[in-house]
Amino acid sequence: MSAGAKSLQILFDPAPEIFATDNNGAFVFPLLNSADPQLDTATYDEVRFVFSLWCPSSQSVIDLDRTYVELRASLDPEDEHWTKIAEVEPVVPAYDGGDRFDGWIVLPILASVSSFCIAGGGFQARSRLQIRASAYFVS
């Protein structure tokens, strides 16, 4: 990164609670910044995402062998078409059920205006999830 290059760190709007669907515990969660889904990404070259998902109930566990989380992007502000751009691997070994799914990924910027969402599946059906996500954009 050159001297004077700008970076941007965003803590996406937190979800007070998400209910996974009946479809094998799948969900789609939009990443919003001050309730806005679109981010001006034209001046950045790379983005580093960090995710943390957990069940607030002690009666639920996350089977890291079965669950998956992916990052999707909409790269055209005029057409909300979502494309899977990466699958996020958990950063802890999947040897046992856990109470969190933590992951991170580094990606190039693909458009001048971008929207992102997290999609997942394989969680317990109708389980409650809480999500925190942040991004660090660099030039």
pLDDT in tens, 38-77: 999 999 999 999 999 988 877 778 888 888 999 999 998 8
Q: What residues does each domain of the chain span?
A: 14-138
The pLDDT assigned to 42 comes to 93
Cβ contacts of 65 within 8 Å, gap of 6 or more:
94
- 1 falls in which pLDDT band (50, 70, 90)? very low
Q: How far apart are CA 124 and CA 4, in angstroms?
A: 47
Q: How confident is the model over 114-123, as pLDDT tens digits? A: 999 999 999 8
Whether the Cβ atoms of residue 120 and residue 69 lie closer than 8 Å to each other: yes
Q: What is the rounded CA–CA span in Å between residue 90 and residue 44?
A: 26
SS3 assignment, position 42: coil
How many C-beta neighbours within 10 Å does residue 32 have?
Answer: 19
For residue 14, the 8-state DSSP code is P
What predicted TM-score, i.e. pTM, was given to this entire model? 0.87
Architecture of domain 14-138: Sandwich (2.60)
